[in-house]
Amino acid sequence: MQKVALLAAGMVLALVGIAALLLVAGSAAKAPARVPNYLPASPQSTTSSPPSQPWTRAPQQPPAAVDSVAPESSGSDYSAAEQTIRAHCTKEWPTDYHMQAYCTDQQHQALSALLSGRPADVPEAEFSRMREHCASEWPDDFHMRAYCEKQQADGYRKIN
């Protein structure tokens, strides 16, 4: 009777282990959730070596759409955007080409949002300050810059 109980307990543990492995494997197969990375880039971080497990980096949350009406006339210079995007995505995902491609797509979408101009309900002077703030916080990440601008505009709306 003890042997049967031990055998049954062993089978239950084995099934629990298999279920846990399947759950973990199923989670790993899904696309990673996009979570904002709020750590600003620092000069010291530009010389870092590639992480030992680059696929474990927590990706960033995409910015929400910005209702814009007027093109930004006094904004940042985006003439080197392609080089900035390539350098940023290569730095973020040095050994993962799939994520470099995804990062590049996200950066281009964000750049389009940035180029579309300011929200209609935010005055030009305030938007200029927001844009300068976000550009200084995220100099090489258009995705986070667009997200930052949206957050700043939302904050402006709440207090005005």
Reduced to 3 states (helix: H, G, I; strand: E, B; else coil), residue 60 is coil
pTM for the complete prediction? 0.54
> Are 99 and 152 in contact, with CB atoms under 8 Å apart?
no
Can you read off the two tokens belonging to residue 147? 């997200």
119 φ, ψ (degrees, to nearest 5):
-65, 145
First to last CA, the chain: 75
- pLDDT in 10s for each residue of the chain, 160 residues: 555 454 555 555 454 455 444 444 444 444 444 444 444 443 334 433 444 444 444 444 444 444 444 444 334 567 889 999 999 999 999 999 999 999 999 999 999 999 998 999 999 999 999 999 999 999 999 999 999 999 999 999 999 9
Q: Which helix (H) or strand (E) holds 140?
A: none
